[in-house]
Amino acid sequence: MNASATVGVGTCLSTSKPLSIGLTPVPICLLRRRRRCLMIGAEAEVNLAASEAQPASRRLILLRHAKSSWQHPSLRDHDRPLSKTGRVDAVAVSRKLERMGWIPQLILCSDALRTRETLNIMQEEARGFLEAEVHFISSYYSIAAMDGQTAEHLQRTICQYSRDELFTIMSVSLLPSALISPWLSLFCFNVFTLNQLYRCMGHNRGWEEAASMFTGASVELKTCNAALLEAPGKSWEEVAFAVAGYGGWKLQGIVTPSSNL
C-alpha cells in the first residue's frame, strides 16, 4: 500500500477542508426562496384563521311593493296590478340595488299580484334578481295587517327557507287596501360572497313595523322603498336573529325611486 494513502492509528485528520459525505450544497438563493415561501404560507394560514373567526355579514332588505293601480275597483285587493308609476319606480329601485351590490340569493315574496309584478320587473332589469331562489309566501299578505306579528313571522320564514351559504335575502309584501296607514311594507333579502343577503317582499303595516323592530329605529317605507339591514352572524337562525335579535340590526340606508345613488 502506498504510504501517502495510509492513515495510522491516532492520526488526526485535517479539518482545514470540510468532509464531503455525498450531500450537494444548496445555493443561497434557493434557501432564501424557500424561506420566503414558508413566510407567505404562514401568513396565508393566519389570514385564513382570521377570516374564519370573523362571522359573515347577513344582509336583509325589507322592500315595499311598487305603487298599485285603482282603475278597476271591482278587483279584489289581492289582485290589483301595478300602476304605470309603480312600474317605473320598480325599474329605478332595481337598478340602484344592483349598482350598490345588494342583490339577493333568496327572495321571499307575497303572492299578491302587485308584489309579484314588482318582482318580475326587477328580475327583467337586474340579472342577479333573476338568478335568485324565489318562494311565494301567501301568509305575507294577511300577516302584515296583524299588529306585532310580522317581525316574528318573517324570522320563522327566513329561517325555514334560508341556508347558511346564502348571504342575501329579499322579502316582498304589501298592506291590504282596507288597512292603509302610515305603516309601509318592505322586502327581506338574502346576499353572497362574504355577505349573506335575503329579500322579503310584502305589505304594510307589518313590513314597516318589522323594520323598526329589527333596527330599533323608526323606519318609514313608502311604495317601492327598500330598507337595507345588516348584522354579523355565522348562521341566520343561531346568530342573525338569536344574537342580533330585535334592535340588533344596523340600518344601512333606505333606497327610494328618487334617491341619488
pLDDT of residue 56: 74
Q: How much is the average pLDDT of 222-227? A: 91
pLDDT of residue 13: 44
Q: How confident is the model at residue 200 (pLDDT cuts 50, 70, 90)?
A: low
Which comes out higher in pLDDT, residue 11 or 134?
A: 134
Which comes out higher in pLDDT, residue 215 or 171?
A: 215
Highest mean pLDDT, choosing among 22-36, 44-58, 134-148, 222-236: 222-236
Residue 164: all three cell numbers together: 347558511
Question: Minimal CA–CA distance to 168: which of 110, 129, 126, 127?
Answer: 129
Residue 53: all three cell numbers together: 373567526
Q: Given a cut of 90, is residue 152 above it in pLDDT?
A: no
CA–CA separation, 188 and 202 (whole Å): 8
For the chain, the first-to-last Cα distance in angstroms comes to 96
pLDDT of residue 228: 93
Q: Given a cut of 60, is residue 257 above it in pLDDT?
A: yes
Bridge partners of 106, per DSSP, are 133, 198
Do 198 and 108 touch, CB atoms closer than 8 A? yes
pLDDT of residue 189: 33
Do 192 and 59 touch, CB atoms closer than 8 A? no
**171-183 pLDDT, tens per residue?**
776 543 333 322 2
Average pLDDT, the chain: 74
Question: Minimal CA–CA distance to 104: which of 129, 139, 71, 79?
Answer: 129
Q: Given a cut of 50, is residue 51 above it in pLDDT?
A: no
| 213 SS3 class | helix
Which comes out higher in pLDDT, residue 189 or 47?
A: 47
Bridge partners of 171, per DSSP, are 108, 200
Predicted TM-score (pTM) of the model is 0.69
Q: How confident is the model at residue 114 (pLDDT cuts 50, 70, 90)?
A: very high
**2-37 pLDDT, tens per residue?**
544 444 444 444 444 544 445 455 566 555 665 565
pLDDT of residue 120: 96
pLDDT of residue 83: 97
Q: For the chain, list the domains and their CATH numbers.
A: 55-255 (3.40.50.1240)
pLDDT of residue 91: 97
* Residues 6 or more apart whose Cβ sits within 8 Å of residue 189: 59, 60, 61, 63, 102, 104, 106, 107, 168, 169, 170, 171, 197, 198, 199, 200
Q: What does DSSP say about strands 106-110 and 133-137: parallel, antiparallel, or unpaired? A: parallel
